Amino acid sequence: MKRRSWPLLGILAFGYAFLYVPILLLILYSFNESRLVTVWSGFSTKWYGELLHNQQLLDAAWLSVRIAATNATVAVVLGTLAANALVRQGRFRGRTGFELLLMAPLVMPDVIIGLSLLLLFVAMQQTIGWPDGRGFTTIAIAHITFSMAYVAVVVRSRLAQMDGSLEEAAMDLGARPLGVYLQITLPLIAPALLSGWLLAFTLSLDDLVIASFVSGPGSTTLPMVVYSSVRMGVSPQINALATLIVLIVAIAVLIAGFTMRRGPNR
């Protein structure tokens, strides 16, 4: 190994340590017996038991998961339709404006998105009486608004790189366009759809700013509960909850990686 590579390896090691050592310490202290999260007093799993009896955290986690799953599913459908329009339809009237509107949430601050959607929901409620209050529906709509832009970017790149000769061959053999899309195109872009779904799910589950604007009483998401709890001091239950989330995310990433690795070899 060349001597010049040692500084690069040192910088790389420092970067990984900076990112992952705090997470490892968080996981370690979730098994700490002491209520003080910075003082180790012995191994214990009691905070996981107390977490399972914390109804506020459990309700917020279940609400966040339902919102994230709804957001990810709808965002994949809308983002895929938008990506198909941009890749397959060529130049059409309004394409530039459509592309700008689609990509605007990628660069717009969350505060602006949250405030504008809050004003929109209030105006709609006063005008047509819907939505009736702010809660699951308004948070899901807000998350879909920005998540579909990320999904569209992922799916668009996959569609642009896809070999169109397979679809042309299927149509030459008499297959209908819908059948070609369902039986050939969708399986080929399935890894991108899965990646987009996971990305949209994570963005929704992680969102705090936008949800704070468009949520109402009784619709507190998990990031909102965690943020309010941390302001009063970090509880060992938060460490236990974060450890479970890291475990779930790691499993999801492994499944997604395995699925995408198998995709091209089929």
DSSP for 170-222, written as a single string: HHHTT--HHHHIIIIIHHHHHHHHHHHHHHHHHHHHH--HHHHHH--TT---H
Cβ(235)–Cβ(229) below 8 Å: yes
Say if 111 falls within a structural domain: yes
- How far apart CA 134 and CA 124 sit, in angstroms, is 12
Q: How many Å apart are CA 111 and CA 265, to the nearest integer?
A: 43
What is the CATH number for 156? Answer: 1.10.3720.10
- Residue 101: inside a domain: yes
The total domain count for the chain is 1
Contact (Cβ atoms closer than 8 angstroms) between residue 214 and residue 138: yes
Domain annotation covers residue 14: no
By the 8 A CB rule, do 155 and 83 touch? yes
Nearest to 23 by CA among 247, 173, 210, 207: 247
Could you list the pLDDT tens digit for every one of the 266 residues in the chain? 556 678 888 899 999 999 999 999 989 999 999 888 778 888 999 999 999 999 999 999 999 999 999 999 999 999 999 999 999 888 888 899 999 999 999 999 999 999 999 999 999 999 999 998 899 999 999 999 999 999 999 999 999 998 888 888 888 888 888 889 989 999 999 989 988 998 999 999 999 999 999 999 889 999 999 998 887 777 888 889 989 989 988 888 888 777 767 655 55
Indicate the helix (H) or strand (E) that contains 155: helix 136-161
Q: For the whole model, what pTM was predicted?
A: 0.87
Q: Which of 133, 102, 103 is nearest to 214 (CA)?
A: 133
For residue 7, tell me if it sits in a domain.
Answer: no
Residue 189 is part of which domain span? 55-262
Domain annotation covers residue 159: yes
Asked if residue 44 is part of any domain, the answer here is no
Among residues 194, 102, 190, 192, which one has the least CA distance to residue 147?
Answer: 102
Residue at 10 is within a domain: no
List all residues 6 or more positions away from 78 whose beta carbon is below 8 Å from its beta carbon. 144, 148, 151
The Cα 224–Cα 206 span in angstroms is: 10
CA dist., res. 113 & res. 35, Å (int): 38
The Cβ-side half-sphere exposure at 165, using a 13 Å CA radius, reads 1
Residue 13 lies in a domain: no
